[in-house]
Structure 1
């Protein structure tokens, strides 16, 4: 059971790192570069700040649910 929680926490940590990189990295660190690129009529930095981070979060939640289903089956703790 300890291995199950270790892998669960590692998955959560990695997904949060991805979300932070998309949410903050694209807007703050790469903002100047991305603001020069047009995407659906707005600059890409603006799009990432308002839509991209939300879509990334939804994708991460879906991936987490799918991956935890597999992990639960692997450790025989599924509901």
Structure 2
């Protein structure tokens, strides 16, 4: 039972680290560090770096919420700790 608990926690942490990595890449790297390079591309008449920092990151963050919920549900079912 203890091994299953450790495996569940390990899978949960792996998912969280993955989600946080995407969050960091979208918010800091794409939204700040490489935004000037992305400004050469236009999206809807706006520079891509500006659009990504202001709008695109919010879309990704909302998608991450749904992705996390789905994948966490899969982990819960795999370890038989899901809710009915």
User: Which portions of structure 1, spanning 4 or more consecutive aligned residues, are displaced by more than 3 angstroms?
Assistant: none
RMSD: 0.9
The reply on whether 1:11 has 2:38 as its aligned counterpart is no
TM, length-normalised to structure 2: 0.87
1:28-66 alpha-carbon deviations (Å, 9 max, x no partner): 221221111110111001111111111111111111111
Distance 1:70 1:27 in 2: 31
| Structure 1 spans left out of the alignment, 5+ residues | none
Count of matched residue pairs:
79
| Structure 2 spans left out of the alignment, 5+ residues | none
Q: Compare CA radii of gyration and give the structure with the larger one.
A: 2
